[in-house]
Amino acid sequence: MYKIALALSLLAGPALATGLEIEIAGEANGTVKIDLFEDIAPGHVEQITALAAEGAYDGVVFHRVIEGFMAQTGDVQFGKLEGGDMSRAGMGGSARPDLKAEFSDKPFLRGVVGMARAQNPNSANSQFFIMFDAGEFLNGQYTVVGEVTEGMEIVDAIKRGNGPNGAVIGQPDVMTRVTVTD
């Protein structure tokens, strides 16, 4: 009976991804592992994992990094180290549709991963950020998609921005490879 139930559960549909593994190079060098929250942000997690599986995040820079706040990346349109437009990094997204907000009561604490968006709460697309410290003012305003489970010391080493609004000047750190993990 157990074997039949297991077989039926495997046939019921694809298994949901549980995380990302991000290889970072630059001032920070190493691997960051993120647990994704399919239960509280299923649409966002689906979009992020699809983009990662396509290789869309490979070569994308951390374009906005603010000391004591967060490191932002994920602009697959303009934020590519090779062939991107660094003057527009942070202004783009993917060819996929924008996402409807999936706000939760999960707080923005150190290591939490949230989706970046424009003023419209339903405008998140591909960009995300990792918190250096707590940011309670974001609670209920941005979608929480996951949290760092390994490699927070790598996140802490990401090159900080000192330009307008945390823009990284010069050579930014880059996600060299982003893979979906089970």
Tokens matching residue 42: 């299923």
Q: Is residue 176 part of a domain?
A: yes
Residues in the chain: 182
What's the CA dihedral at 172, 116, 38, 152 to 10 degrees?
Answer: 40
Q: Is residue 150 part of a domain?
A: yes
Q: Is residue 111 part of a domain?
A: yes
Q: Which tens digits make up the pLDDT trace of 57-70?
A: 999 999 999 999 99
The count of other CB atoms within 10 Å of the CB of residue 148 is 21
Q: What domain range is 171 assigned to?
A: 19-181
Distance CA 2, CA 21 (A): 32
Q: Is residue 13 part of a domain?
A: no
Q: What is the pTM of this model?
A: 0.90
Q: Is residue 5 part of a domain?
A: no
CATH number of the domain that 158 lies in? 2.40.100.10
pLDDT band (50, 70, 90) for residue 16: low
Q: Is residue 156 part of a domain?
A: yes
Q: Is residue 48 part of a domain?
A: yes
Q: Is residue 91 part of a domain?
A: yes
How far is CA 153 from each of CA 18, 28, 41, 122, 140, rounded to the nearest angstrom?
Answer: 21, 9, 26, 32, 27
Q: Which tens digits make up the pLDDT trace of 128-160?
A: 999 999 999 999 999 999 999 999 999 999 999
Residues 4-32, mean pLDDT to the nearest whole number: 70
